[in-house]
Amino acid sequence: MTDFIIEPIVAALQAGDPLLAERLCREQLQAKPDAVDPLVLLALSLWRQGDHAGALDVYARLARLHPEDVMHWRNYAVALRNAGDLRAAERAYETAVRLTPDDPELLELHGLIQMDLGKFVEARDTLLRAFGKSPDTPAIRIHAAQSCSICRDFRVEELLKPWRTWLPLEEDLQFELAEVLIQQGEALCALEVLEDLLRRAPSHVTVQLSLASVYERVNRLDDAEAMLRTIEASGASADQNVRIAIERQRAQLAARRGDAAGAREALERLGPAGDSDAGYWFALAKVCDKLGDPAAAMRALEKGHASQILELKTAVPHYFEAGAEVLPNERARVAAADYREWPILSAPDVSQSPVFVVGFPRSGTTLLEQMLDAHPRLQSMDERPFFNTLAGQLERSTGIEVPDGLGRLDQRDCDELRKGYVILACGKIPRRWDARLVDKNPLNMMWLPMIHRMFPNAKFILAVRHPCDVILSCYMQNFRAAVLAVAGQSLERLARAYVAAMESWLYHVGIFKPDVFVSRYEDLIADTRGQTRRIAGFLGLDDADSMLHFDVRAREKGYIKTPSYTQVIEPINRSGIGRWHRYREYFEPVLPIVQPMLAYWGYGAEVSAAAEAR
């Protein structure tokens, strides 16, 4: 057996002399061309010389010579990825994972390649497998959360739960953590992560740009502008990509400060960052709308939705399968006869039950929430899909599906569901137990059967607004939630989703007879004092005056998670009423769809003189 001396080769590599290392490797390989150690070191020396093709040939040779050795497939996969051949790297990782299926780091690397290839569902499943093998590794949790975020998978929240215990992280990984938090709408958490990172890397331009964007999102406009000036002063804006990023952010700040013309000019001059830049088109549409140019706004929205749907077809393909529901449980109904068979169980009284604010998105639910949160005896939280989560847990643990199996729940089941709800709520806000919880989530209207089973004495506030204003406003939003983004791809599809949601709600209200206050957006705007008093009376509250100062309370909070964040920090205004009339020509196919709801809620489709003036 030939003895190989590898120490001189390793020393040459450590000394930065890969050419010498290559020569020494080839000398030793003359005696035995297939020797493993000299081949591995030869590949490394070639790679360091920039001869990537030569190194890849050696790694491929090793994998062929030793097809059951995971190390060679892993090295080959890494080299392929570094060389930019992602598809071949994926195949090499598949082989490596097959050989060692329980290696969490290998699963993580495989999942990251799948992410790079746009195979988001496969990447999520692979990275969740890695998490299952190594649940305490921050990098694996962050990468699994990235994939879940793209796939709009609720598990992202649980994956990131201990993020504060991970800091500080390596710079790139900490920035990835911040990006996922931003995607999830956790701007205040992202702010904490980015500011910590900037203290350690004060000249990191990418971090500075991201931080400026987050400052805008939490309504710290002056801080955002100051950060942009800092970047410019450093000279980093000489880079074209950095300069464009700064100008894009300045366009957003201009729009926030009421300079819609300046924002439009900047956006149109800069153009989108690429085919997948849906956010650009939504931003342009909003400023065109403010400037009274509905045709330009609709052109931009069409492009924005097309870009968004392309991404969603890869990230959440099940929404596009034949017969797929857009809204949760949109066709599910609890029959009156089945409801009469539900066992009578003990449940919290009205004072111990949350107040549920529901209504189709963009109906004024955020305004109502901020008004209620301004009352000292009420406490709201950012909207969360708690009932989606609880329903999933119930089905996995018991096999009971919602709503069909709700009649099978016994006292223990309902107590456990309520306990789970409280745990979820306390994970989001520090609960004040002297205040009633306000749960604002518009599409909780689709979960009325489950809510009624858990909290049969709860009060509901249903936000109602002219359906056409609602549909137009939804169409103009770059919704993060897949259910809303998919529903929002056209005015007609939104109209059908609106009608489906209302029909589900009205049907189940007729079955369960919950205590509901209907809050009309137009009445709330026209007579805010009178309406808040009626809402306070409905909730058994003596004083409604604090609710009138919702905008002050919202500014004190600094961050509102929903798309209304730029509006609820301002006093009441009527600009959103009748806006759809400017888009009347686009609504002609929509009006027959929503006519039943226009009639039910007493709204007309005629153009008023006030609307014409707007």
Residue with tokens 């300069």: 243
Determine the pLDDT at residue 611.
Answer: 42
Three-class SS state of 402: coil
- pLDDT value at 607 more than 50: no
Decide: 289 and 301 in contact? Cβ < 8 Å: no
- pLDDT value at 514 more than 90: yes
Give the tens place of pLDDT for each residue, 208-221: 999 999 999 999 99
Query: How many other CB atoms are there within 10 angstroms of residue 175's CB atom?
Result: 18
- pLDDT value at 234 more than 60: yes
What does the alpha-carbon distance between residue 138 and residue 193 come to, in Å, rounded to a whole number?
14
Q: Mean of the pLDDT values across residues 556-575?
A: 60
- pLDDT value at 383 more than 90: no
Q: How confident is the model at residue 609 (pLDDT cuts 50, 70, 90)?
A: very low
Q: Mean of the pLDDT values across residues 511-525?
A: 97
- pLDDT value at 608 more than 50: no
Report angle CA 349, 355, 357 to the nearest 5 degrees. 150
Determine the pLDDT at residue 191.
Answer: 97
Decide: 231 and 208 in contact? Cβ < 8 Å: yes
Token pair recorded at residue 380 = 């709201």
Chain mean pLDDT for the chain:
92
Determine the pLDDT at residue 328.
Answer: 81
Q: How confident is the model at residue 614 (pLDDT cuts 50, 70, 90)?
A: very low
CA contacts within 13 A on the Cβ side of 230: 17
Give the tens place of pLDDT for each residue, 576-601: 899 999 999 999 999 999 999 999 99
Q: What percent of the chain has pLDDT over 70?
A: 95
Q: Which amino acid is at 8?
A: P
Q: How confident is the model at residue 559 (pLDDT cuts 50, 70, 90)?
A: low
What does the alpha-carbon distance between residue 101 and residue 72 come to, in Å, rounded to a whole number?
15
What does the alpha-carbon distance between residue 203 and residue 235 come to, in Å, rounded to a whole number?
11
Decide: 97 and 85 in contact? Cβ < 8 Å: no
How deeply is 56 buried, as exposed, middle or buried, from its count of CB atoms within 10 A (0-12, 13-18, 19+)?
buried
Q: Where are the extended beta strands (E) located within 186-295? A: none
Determine the pLDDT at residue 556.
Answer: 67
Give Dmax (Cα) for the chain: 98
- pLDDT value at 449 more than 70: yes
- pLDDT value at 431 more than 50: yes
Give the tens place of pLDDT for each residue, 104-156: 999 999 999 999 999 999 999 999 999 999 999 999 999 999 999 999 998 99
The three state secondary structure string of 82-115 is: HCCCHHHHHHHHHHHHHHCCCCHHHHHHHHHHHH
Q: What residue ranges define each of the domains in the chain, with the CATH number in brackets?
A: 339-613 (3.40.50.300)
Three-class SS state of 180: helix
- pLDDT value at 2 more than 70: no
Determine the pLDDT at residue 354.
Answer: 97
Decide: 191 and 220 in contact? Cβ < 8 Å: no
Determine the pLDDT at residue 192.
Answer: 97
Give the tens place of pLDDT for each residue, 195-210: 999 999 999 999 999 9
- CA-to-CA dists, residue 263 to 536, 559, 611, angstroms: 40, 23, 25
- CA-to-CA dists, residue 206 to 188, 194, 198, 239, 270, angstroms: 18, 10, 10, 12, 19
Determine the pLDDT at residue 550.
Answer: 82
First and final C-alpha spacing in the chain = 91
**Strand ranges across the sheet with 378-381:** 378-381, 436-440, 355-358, 459-464, 515-520
- pLDDT value at 499 more than 90: yes
Q: What percent of the chain has pLDDT over 90?
A: 85
- pLDDT value at 167 more than 70: yes
- CA-to-CA dists, residue 182 to 55, 81, 371, 561, angstroms: 39, 28, 26, 11
Determine the pLDDT at residue 571.
Answer: 63
If we measure between CA atoms, which residue out of 433, 329, 467, 335 comes closest to residue 391?
329
- pLDDT value at 555 more than 60: yes
- pLDDT value at 11 more than 90: yes
Between 606 and 611, whose confidence is greater? 606
Decide: 285 and 301 in contact? Cβ < 8 Å: yes
